[in-house]
Amino acid sequence: MKQFSLVSAFRSRALRLSAAAIVVCGSLFTANLIVHADAPKTAADYQADPALMIDAYRHVEAASVSDAIEQLLHEKRYMSHRMQSIFPAKFAGPALTVKLVKQENRDADALSGMLKAIDSGGPGSVYVMQVEDGADIAGMGGLMGTAMFSRGFAGAVVDGGVRDLPQLKKIGFPVFSTGPVPSTSVSHYRFGGMNIPVDCDGVRVNPNDIIVADQDGVVVVPRDKAAEILVLAQKLDNSEHSMYPFIEKFHSIQEAVKQFGRI
């Protein structure tokens, strides 16, 4: 009996040690995974994976993107306060550009290229339209918005008016524009081209530039610098988000700026 008890005790101790070893190894493995998962991406990582880069831009603030562009490129790449969203929204994606030229006409096909452009767009695209002298002209409305929504567009940015807001709000399709207006572009405008450089509220937008939009406004990211800008924007975002609890705890924005170097 005594020998059996010793053997049982030995086995029990061995099992406990094995279990402990498994827990330790498992913890180390989990920790390794966490560290790996939280490791920040580099510009090279994003350049090698454009889809990952676009997704990351959907989670960064437009203000941080604007600041990153100013710091890196010393350029103004944000649209003015005139560009307002029809409801609070946040999106990001590559630009599909369209230009409408102001020209009175009776041509039934004058705007057919605009419709073709919509039907050529893929999921995640952002429709960016320049409407010449279009503050009082609806560059798009419910029909176009519904078509974009059905094709998976991320949103639209129109340097001109927008109409049919009830339908756009009903389907939840976000549009930034100079404001709601009931007019039409039919017979007053002609299609001027798609996937060409356009001027949207004073900012040049090239096809495939990345559009970042949220409640602070719209920013245009030049595609060739997008990865570098994203990495800096993420750092600025992280710094600012860390400052909020610091300010709440110590009740001083001056101390927060000293600590984090951001305002």
Give the C-alpha separation, 214 to 78, whole Å: 12
Of 32-41, 54-63, 227-236, the poorest mean pLDDT is in: 32-41
- Hey, which of 19-28, 39-48, 224-233 has the most confident mean pLDDT? 224-233
Name the token pair of 209: 């530039």
- In this predicted structure, the answer to whether residue 38 has a pLDDT above a threshold of 80 is no
The rounded distance, in Å, linking the Cα atoms of 122 and 154 is 9
Q: Any idea what DSSP says for residue 103? A: -
Report the alpha-carbon distance of residue 238 to residue 248 in Å, rounded.
16
217: helix, coil or strand? strand
Domains and CATH numbers, the chain: 78-221 (3.50.30.40)
Please say whether the beta carbons of 200 and 79 come within 8 A. Answer: yes
Strands 161-162 and 138-140, how do they pair? parallel
Distance CA 240, CA 246 (A): 10
Helix (H, G, I), strand (E, B) or coil at 96: strand
CA atoms within 13 A on the CB side of 215: 2
121, pLDDT greater than 80: yes
Structure tokens that stand for 103 in this block: 């020209």
pLDDT for 102 beyond 80:
yes
Q: What is the separation, in whole angstroms, between the first and last Cα of the chain?
A: 76
Query: Distance (Å, rounded) from C-alpha 168 to C-alpha 162?
Result: 10
Percent of the chain with pLDDT over 90: 75
Quick one: pLDDT at residue 246?
59
Span 130-149, pLDDT tens digits: 999 999 999 999 999 999 99
The mean pLDDT value for 213-228 works out to: 98
Q: How far apart are CA 210 and CA 45, in angstroms?
A: 17
Question: Which phi-psi region, left, alpha or beta, contains residue 201 (left: φ > 0; alpha: ψ -120 to 50)?
Answer: left
Q: Which two tokens stand for residue 117?
A: 């452009």
pLDDT of residue 10: 44
Reported confidence tier of residue 260, pLDDT bands at 50, 70, 90? confident
Q: Which of 185, 203, 206, 246 is nearest to 62 (CA)?
A: 203
pLDDT single digits (tens) 198-219: 999 999 999 999 999 999 999 9
| Contact criterion met (CB below 8 Å) for 138 and 186 | no
Q: Are 220 and 121 in contact (CB under 8 A)?
A: no
Q: H-type helices in the chain, by residue range?
A: 2-38, 43-48, 50-57, 62-73, 112-120, 142-150, 165-171, 226-250, 253-260
Per residue in 170-188, pLDDT (tens digit) is 999 999 999 999 999 999 9
C-alpha span between 31 and 168 (Å, rounded) = 46
CA atoms within 13 A on the CB side of 40: 11
